[in-house]
Structure 1
């Protein structure tokens, strides 16, 4: 909770007052001000340093107000260890433009304003906001007033940000990922991209009003050497009824160097596994399909087949009320049989199937990672074992 103090909240026209901020005359701004002796600065000092103590916060949700913005930034600044001007809160004033959904947050010190720049992309009321310098910021003058970069000791992980990710979505190695199915969650997109390595920065672009994905994202890898590998492997991949467009955001895609070809091949194989996971089983069902568990040859022998069935019943029964296990096997005559090489587990409820899918997916079997996906119940009931969702 914000400590009790003398708070002043007022609205005013900005005619001629904030001309350097490039806002229209008479734009409706509201101001949230903390009046506290420990935050006070002399008029001369305040005026001379104000341009370096303000930060621009853009992309605010409609529900944002001056006090909620101030309280939030006070809390996150304290959480990351960004308060360097002594006890108390970092925020002095908040000027907010509700029509344009942005605010200017005035910090009590230049160093704290620089630390706040590390919060770019942080979620405010569920929406990622942009944290930038205002247009009247003068780097040359600011350099003499205090640090111009965030401290390297900030605990960004405390507020859900990746250390080193501030500004991580800028520069020549930023990747554009377009053509994403709208139902893909942020976690699913991340998992797909992280097939190539950990991310330095990531942003799945969402509709501000609905919160739904707009079908594209941006990312930057910690290891910049995999940028071209990821672009080459992912570009053109089909995901459901969509085709991915993946390239450097600021230029045309480049081809991987010869020494990267082996890494590219491994990454493409991993992408194919992820593709299978996301094309089949986007929504939970009571049936789980396992692949890369058994081979056709293992299923031909009656005794070995029964052993596999029993092992599956015992293992799958750990996760819920197991109704049926189906393992299609080759026909003695050689006639084609649908679903050979797959294992189907039917549970009494989605809770059991979800636990089984989570537990089994990715586990190694015979040196291969098991792929577990939900399977359409109607297809399973019709004994259609080659269906794709």
Structure 2
């Protein structure tokens, strides 16, 4: 919002009559030589309200990204004012919550300024809301100062907002801002939200969680964001989870706005306990019978690229896998991707795919092979999507 044009205010001293030379106690009249009838010049004064608005602006604005080309300042202002009223997010009294909108049409984003810091924080719960047929991102602007904002008002959305009134799921992405926001990458695509949250909550309850999905298919993109209610466990969770093998993937877990932090020395004992929890949790997740059942089982940590280069050794490995896998039911095929002769990367190298005739045999194989040791390595066995296997897509 543009600053209100400030009209100069005239300062009068102790009720002096206009036109007379002012007399100030403790000062001689000739200290300020003025011509007869001349007054002190008017001094511009900025109202306290205007100064407060300027100081709180960074905490009263929200960034809205992904706007459709048809969006304009009026439509954005009207939409967010109506939505804020619908969810019960207006806390500054009657009237519209939005006081100003600036749109960058070229880059399809806007800065939406609210009346109060608390209303801006409530607006953060609107991330992903559908505006003119498209979901939009609602974030803090780049000049947002979390430590300063904390002194100005609530920095998180009110947990009692009626988000269902505008088609949003309460608690799905709310509270996912600030320096303690965690990026969780390398998630197996077949892991459900419930499984991922169960893993993360080994360290404590979550304030917010968001599994990123493809807009068209609704499938997981393999990464998520979360924030813990107890912010002191942020670094512990990152250190314990980062690098953990989960199925056929390796997790990358760090603060979203910076590289991975090393835990403080006093956290080492807590971290050791946390890693033990993760090992147990990982085993439980992999053993859950209802996790994306498939006729194809993928084994990792069984073979290395070097072992697959020699033709005879490769054939021996295939036969060994056929015999071991056949103990759980009839096999339709055994696929073990090999490295390319020219040394170029080859999808799926290091994995063994066992395709069974029926899903029951595959379930038995996954349960029986997971955790077994082959050549000193502890095997990880997971279901693999049948459609990807049929398309020879071994990177999933």
Query: TM-score, normalized by length of structure 1?
Result: 0.49
Bigger Rg, structure 1 or 2: 2
Q: Give the structure with the higher percent strand.
A: 1
